[in-house]
Chain A
Amino acid sequence: MSPLLKIDRLKFAYDSKPLIKDINFSISNLEFVGLIGPNGSGKSTLLKLMGGILKCDQGQIDFKGNPINSIHKKELAQSLTWIPQDHPMVFPFTVQEIVMMGRHPYLTPLSFEADDDLQIVQEAMERTQTLQFSERYFNEISGGEKQRVMLASAIAQKPEIMLLDEPTSALDLKYQIQILNILKCLNEQNKITIVMALHDLNLASRYCQRLILLQDGDIVSDGAPNDVLQKEIIEKVYGVEVELQNHNGGILVHPVKEL
């Protein structure tokens, strides 16, 4: 069976500054993958390329065997979704309206959402515990609530694969765990493949089956968390002396001092 996403000799530059340099890897069905790496290593750019939001300069990204940019946008959006890191909103949309936007790929112009769309949106909001504030304005809820609302919107899109850019950044401990638990549940019960960029190596090792470590637009290491999170590798990539500790099957990374 062909992989869900196949990234082949991918290159991308922004204003002639290379951000992604010749990357190859594949994402198989039902994987739970974390993209890790220092700031500016290319995690966000790579996710946008994988989501068909940016077009690559060279190389190719195939989704289920077809070049991602050749797939009709609406058709692609029925299988793949991308969730940005922050959600600036100018206009006073309600939480429910935002979640309902996830149904866009299934609606024709001028059509209104039907009862089953409402049903799907309702379920997505229950799933993410956002139903109780569905009538509030998106602008007026907290950061953790916003992130859950965007997740609900993505769930309503009924995708096979979700790409998330730092879903837990700027959230407190409880919300971080909450979001990651929802993602884990989506992966196990709803059979949704998850690829997310993460800063927190400890959370990454605890939740992800596979980590891809990026540095300056290149893949440094790709594999199970125990293989990727090695003392020498982390110290080299992050420029920080670290101590590693095994904890409940995961790895805890303690930064000690700058190298």
Chain B
Amino acid sequence: MGLNSYKFKLGLFFLFFVATFCVTPLIGSTHINLSNALAGGVNAPNNLDANILFQVRLPRILLGALTGAALSVAGAVFQALLRNDLAAPFTLGVSSGAALGAVLAIVLNINLSIMGFPVISFFSFVGAIGAIFLVFSLVRTRHGEFPTGILLLAGVTANFFFAAMVMFLHYIADFSQSFRIIRWLMGGLDITDYKTVFSIAPMVFIGMGLLGYVSRDLNLISTGVHSATSRGVNVPQVQKIGFITASLITGTVVSITGPIGFVGLIAPHIVRLFVGPDLRILIPASMFFGASFLVLCDTVARTIIAPTEIPVGIITAMIGGPFFVWLLKRKRAV
């Protein structure tokens, strides 16, 4: 791939993101006066327009963009590492580990904040990390390489195991806890302030940067670990960096938003239809597209039966599924 075509294609995805980011804050159940809002600025307690724009919509859009970007990049990397285009950020058990942590915090009725985070987020992050460690400790590396088939099995098993624990906790929970559990498991972007967004942003950006840095090595691994080795790729090292980093950025966003499904599976596929499987462009393009996709889905979730907001996880698959099928048919027909 030449540098010019790279810049052009990535530029288009960047523009798509910018357009999404400029338009979606203006859409919502309440009409806002933009010039009034901008005149008010970020801190204007008496300016309703500014309040809605800067304190309600913008942080939510930022969280959506960050989450969509992280999940899509993680999805693209998992698909390449596992050489399986059905892989997703949640395949190896990260989200169900996070769910177990969150549900545990809800059932135990702990109400405090740990290191500035709500206890549910803290517990679910610990759950996500625990799941990563569990799955990778189950798998014995051979000559330093991860046997991807066994890794997939371990991940799927961990998913079922954690899901069973969640179901058990859900079963013994009382009525109000049960409602909170269901709401968390649906995933959503509604509990947001700038502090949360800015506290997870560094982790997500460093992770995505690291994955971008090893993207050409990941290309070779996606064609086979042995031939990658004979092309000079340090396979065990890149596998470790890839699996751990992608799991970490997934766990980071999921601990805040809950498991928002589908975007991490499908965004890399959609982007691949336009730019091909080269991860040097697939990773940054998935970042822009995943961010836009989730923000757009959330805009629909905020407005479709306004004033009621529905969890974005419902929208991603409901809109994304048919859209992907349509795109696939169209692209294959050409």
Residues of chain A having any CB pair with chain B under 8 Å: 48, 51-55, 73-78, 80-84, 87-94, 97-98, 101-102, 104-105, 107, 109-110, 112-113, 157
Closest Cβ–Cβ distance, residue A199 to chain B (whole Å): 20
Complex Cα gap A93–B1 (Å): 11
Complex Cα gap A237–B92 (Å): 46
Interface centre among A52, A87, A90 (most CB of B within 10 A): A90
Q: A109 near B213 (CB under 8 angstroms)?
A: yes
Q: B226 near A78 (CB under 8 angstroms)?
A: no
Complex Cα gap A52–B226 (Å): 10
Residues of chain B having any CB pair with chain A under 8 Å: 1-3, 6, 80, 83-85, 143, 212-214, 216-217, 219-220, 222-224, 226-227, 229-234, 272, 276-278
Q: B231 near A101 (CB under 8 angstroms)?
A: yes
Across the interface, B232 reaches (CB within 8 A) one of A78, A89, A112, namely A78
Q: Which residues of the other chain, B, contact A109 by a CB distance below 8 angstroms?
A: 213-214, 216-217
Q: Which residues of the other chain, B, contact A55 by a CB distance below 8 angstroms?
A: 143
Q: B83 near A90 (CB under 8 angstroms)?
A: yes
Known: A91-B272, A92-B277, A104-B231. A112 touches B6 (CB 8 A): yes
Query: Whose C-beta in chain B lies nearest to the C-beta of A72?
Result: B232
Q: A84 near B224 (CB under 8 angstroms)?
A: yes
Q: A77 near B232 (CB under 8 angstroms)?
A: yes
Known: A101-B220, A109-B213, A109-B216. A94 touches B230 (CB 8 A): no
Known: A53-B226, A90-B84, A92-B277. A104 touches B1 (CB 8 A): no
Q: Which residues of the other chain, A, contact B212 by a CB distance below 8 angstroms?
A: 110
Query: Whose C-beta in chain B lies nearest to the C-beta of A107?
Result: B216
Q: Which residues of the other chain, B, contact A92 by a CB distance below 8 angstroms?
A: 272, 276-277
Interchain residue pairs A-B with the least CB separation, the first 6: A77-B232, A91-B277, A105-B232, A74-B232, A82-B230, A104-B231
Query: Could you name 6 residue pairs across A and B whose Cβ atoms are closer than 8 Å?
Result: A73-B229, A77-B230, A91-B85, A98-B223, A112-B1, A113-B2
Q: A89 near B223 (CB under 8 angstroms)?
A: yes
Q: A93 near B214 (CB under 8 angstroms)?
A: no
Q: Which residues of the other chain, B, contact A110 by a CB distance below 8 angstroms?
A: 212-213
Q: Which residues of the other chain, A, contact B6 by a CB distance below 8 angstroms?
A: 112
Q: Which residues of the other chain, B, contact A51 by a CB distance below 8 angstroms?
A: 229-230
Closest Cβ–Cβ distance, residue B151 to chain A (whole Å): 15
Q: Which residues of the other chain, B, contact A113 by a CB distance below 8 angstroms?
A: 1-2
Known: A104-B216, A112-B3. A87 touches B224 (CB 8 A): yes
Closest Cβ–Cβ distance, residue A103 to chain B (whole Å): 9
Closest Cβ–Cβ distance, residue B217 to chain A (whole Å): 8
Q: Which residues of the other chain, B, contact A48 by a CB distance below 8 angstroms?
A: 226
